[in-house]
Amino acid sequence: MNADTDRPTFLLVHGAWCWDPVRAALGAGNWRSHAIDLPSANPPAGRHDGAPVGMLDDADAIRDSLRRIDGPVVMIAHSYGGVPTTEAIADAANVVRAVYLAGFQLDAGESMFTFLGAPVPDDGTGHAPPYEDARRILVDDVPEADADRAVARLRPQSVRSFTERVTTAGWRTVPSSYVVCDRDRALEPSRQRQLATRADSVHRLPSSHSPFLSMPRQLATLLGRIAISALPTARR
């Protein structure tokens, strides 16, 4: 089935591999999509000046992906991916909506650590390892074999990405939606509801932190409904 070119394209952030089931479901529904890996989750990556990559580098990677997409785009930002997405969409003319999926919809001046009230390390040049109990925290509602494969693909992430502050909050000018994951053990639903007060619409899924693996078809259906709402009335 060919994708409907009158519809917006989804750009899914971050971790390209984890979106495969959702992208398949979106394609079956006649939606185009792209997924992006962020440099901060690639441990060998570094900047030309030798410093570790951080949130602002991730935002640049998102901007580069957006420039490669023709037509309107709906951003889907999961977890930490919400931080660089917020930074990147402020000056992206083709983004028509941002969807935060259990994501950090931060305001200017906030970092992921400051929002969570976590102490900022003196040395922010290292990498944070994945959760020790990632199976329980991230994918406890995912079939065992799929969950094991997902945990095996987790990678360290640069500490700098968690400590760099947002300089401009794109959701203040781009319409946004928030999807609260009610069974999330990584970002507590109460925290998600706090972030969701910044969005224009709020939705819920009875999922863990990883609905793209536990309920990809339901998530794709919800994303399609949200994207349709971003279209001008005459084109719906």
For the cut 60, the answer to whether the pLDDT of residue 152 exceeds it is yes
Mean pLDDT of the chain: 91
Quote the pLDDT of residue 141: 97
How many Cα atoms are found within 13 Å in the side-chain-facing hemisphere of 181? 30
131 pLDDT band, cuts 50/70/90, is confident
Q: Which helix (H) or strand (E) holds 75?
A: strand 73-78
Rounded CA-CA distance 139/196 in Å is 22
What's the chain's length in residues?
236
Quote the pLDDT of residue 1: 41
52 pLDDT band, cuts 50/70/90, is confident
* Mean pLDDT calculated for residue range 187-216: 98
Percent of the chain past pLDDT 70, that is, above it, reads 91
Out of 12-16, 42-46, 89-93, 148-152, pick the least confident.
42-46
Three-state DSSP class for 194? helix
List the one residue out of 32, 174, 18 whose CA is nearest residue 90.
174
